[in-house]
Amino acid sequence: MKRILSGIQPTNTLTLGNYLGAIKNWVGMQHESECFLFIADLHALTNPPEPEALRANTREVAATYIACGIDPEHAAIFVQSQIPAHAELSWLFSCLTPIGWLNRMTQFKDKSGKDKDAANAGLYVYPILMAADILLYHPSHVPVGEDQKQHLELARDVAGAFNRKYDVEHFKLPEPAIFGPATRIMSLRDGSKKMSKSDASDMSRINLTDDADTIANKIKKATSDSEMLPDNLAALEGRTEARNLINIYAALADITPEKVLAQFAGQGFGKFKPALAELCVEKLAPISTRLHALMQDTAALDALLAKGAARANTVAEKTLVDCKRIMGLLV
């Protein structure tokens, strides 16, 4: 059986990008795989949020997984900081990771802003923590969007470095699982930036909690162009915003982008956008209703997270002890 591991930072309410690029794929894989799905609260600390907001977002991300269709009886849903092995293995890996590898990471360059020296060290070593997150569970596959591919590559490199240094076959290299038209949903305002839950502009994204009017308004205002939609994908070359809206429609409807064009060829965005908004509301309304209901009972959510943590901890603790023994620490 495949084992998959994935997580999302509780930085804000999750977006359509997180749903289509990550959670929807987990839902599709959950019954043929053993799933470890976590809420990456330690990663969220790299841009320290207000404590109350972090607590609320952590629960909201867990509730979102379930509202989107993850079955908590089957998947282990857990909070990263509740498993001490993540931070501990991260230190062990830090001592095996050349700084040059970290200097290549594009996310640090993107997120650290202009003054690199003022960025916190957590943001810099973030990929090492992510390598620990992954390798603790010996997953066969890690479902990631395009934006996380470089981090998974680093996790594979760290696994290789560990195996070589200690002359062991301890870690198998996990494979990326990347899916369909939604691997990179772009911002609604700027087709060159990915949709992100921490973007300063709320208009750049659709939040999974947005109501029907808000969704329709954001799609109406989304950057597009004044040309008609063509009947083939090649003709969308260079029209990044148009391509993005077609991809979103395709991912929501579970059809190929070619099929979407077959349906809308010759029409302009005046026709396409209302159809996209309607589809988006139809798919997201049940999720936000369930999410809202789950958030009403935080005690039940916390109990679920405690169960998930107990399951995850058994696996993670064993990997950590194995690594410590291999590295010569007394265990």
Interaction site with ligand ATP (CB under 6 A): 6, 8-9, 11, 15, 17-18, 21-22, 144-145, 147-148, 182-185, 194-198
What angle do helix axes 149-166 and 298-327 make, rounded to 10 degrees?
40
- Catalytic, 218? Answer no
Using Cβ positions, the residue closest to ligand ATP within the complex turns out to be 21
Q: Which is nearer to ligand ATP, 195 or 309 (CB)?
A: 195
Instruction: Count Cβ atoms within 10 A of the Cβ of residue 329 and give its class: 0-12 exposed, 13-18 middle, 19 or more buried.
Output: exposed
Counting every residue written for the chain, the total comes to 331
Q: Which is nearer to ligand ATP, 21 or 308 (CB)?
A: 21
Q: Which is nearer to ligand ATP, 142 or 294 (CB)?
A: 142
- Catalytic, 324? Answer no
Answer yes or no: are the C-beta atoms of 319 and 85 closer than 8 Å: yes
Amino acid letter, residue 328? G
**Which residue in 24, 109, 111, 283 is the catalytic one?**
111
51 SS3 class: helix
* Residues of the chain by 3-state class (helix, strand, coil), percent to 5: 60, 10, 35
Q: Which is nearer to ligand ATP, 22 or 320 (CB)?
A: 22
Strand-pair partners of 35: 4
The CA distances from residue 15 to 23, 39, 41, 99, 265, in Å, are: 10, 15, 17, 33, 28
Q: Which is nearer to ligand ATP, 197 or 313 (CB)?
A: 197
CB of 164 to ligand ATP, least distance (A): 28
**Which residue in 114, 165, 197, 221 is the catalytic one?**
197
DSSP letter string, 114-147: S-GGGS-HHHHHHHHHHHHHHHTT--SEEE--GG
**What is the DSSP-derived secondary structure letter of residue 105?**
-
Task: State the Cα–Cα distance between residues 40 and 61, nearest whole angstrom.
Answer: 10
Task: State the Cα–Cα distance between residues 279 and 301, nearest whole angstrom.
Answer: 30
What angle do helix axes 240-253 and 269-295 make, rounded to 10 degrees?
50
Q: Which is nearer to ligand ATP, 153 or 322 (CB)?
A: 153
Task: State the Cα–Cα distance between residues 111 and 80, nearest whole angstrom.
Answer: 21
Answer yes or no: are the C-beta atoms of 40 and 20 closer than 8 Å: no
Which residues are the active-site residues? 111, 194, 197
